[in-house]
A and B are shown apart, each in its own frame.
Chain A
Amino acid sequence: GDSVTQTEGLVTLTEGLPVMLNCTYQSTYSPFLFWYVQHLNEAPKLLLKSFTDNKRPEHQGFHATLHKSSSSFHLQKSSAQLSDSALYYCALGNSGGSNAKLTFGKGTKLSVKS
């Protein structure tokens, strides 16, 4: 079955340092990967999504590359900002079966300190 693994539950960083949040997946069909961000007391919102293998989507300074060879879609940013503190979810959709469903990881809380 489909699954998403986010290995870090909490990542704490100092402002200005690079960010990397890990995401790996298992998918029955050809995968589409997403990152969602949820700030405190807000709804989760789409941050970015994969397109084709080795193309790099970017949004708000964040980027991620889908690597089918390693089943990964890690989220990166070169310099963390205080406003990046939030809960980040990696999610998996696929092109076959019920493509209406997304499978979410357990989430990584990013805490950026000054």
Chain B
Amino acid sequence: GGIITQTPKFLIGQEGQKLTLKCQQNFNHDTMYWYRQDSGKGLRLIYYSITENDLQKGDLSEGYDASREKKSSFSLTVTSAQKNEMAVFLCASSIVRGLGTEVFFGKGTRLTVV
């Protein structure tokens, strides 16, 4: 088995601040993702990467940057934190199994902006 580790678990930022979230996986999966989780809105894809140094925009990429420094790591930057913003950011990686892609998630980074 493998694990996805997200750091930090909790992040408190100030309005306008640039904030970076980090993710490591030891599954040796090619594809990695960043999702934003908001109550009642589901999981929305911010960025994903199908290999090292690749970046693909998701549906919610505005206001974020991402970087796939190596196969095992994928970081997300909030370019300018919005006041009163609260959300959980989930990192994931995936493998194609037979008939489809199976996604594995980390436990998340909980962001609060004051």
Q: How many A-B residue pairs have CB under 8 A?
A: 67
In the complex, A25 has a CB within 8 A of chain B: no
**Interface SS majority for chain B:** strand
With beta carbons under 8 angstroms apart, the residue of B42, B56, B94, B104 that contacts A89 is B42
Q: How many residues of A contact B (CB 8 A)?
A: 29
Chain A residues with Cβ below 8 Å from B12 are: none
**Which of chain A's residues 80-114 have a Cβ closer than 8 Å to chain B?**
89, 91, 93, 95, 98-107
Taking CB atoms, residues of chain A closer than 8 Å to B45 are 101, 103
- B contact residues, total (Cβ < 8 Å): 26
Q: Cβ of B105 and Cβ of A45 under 8 Å apart?
A: yes
Query: In the complex the two chains form, is B50's CB within 8 Å of A43's CB?
Result: no
A106 touches B41 (CB 8 A): yes
**Chain A, Cβ-Cβ closest to B43:** A104
A residues near B (Cβ < 8 Å) are 6, 9, 32, 34, 36, 41-46, 49-52, 89, 91, 93, 95, 98-107
Closest 5 CB pairs of A and B: A32-B100, A106-B42, A104-B43, A43-B105, A43-B107
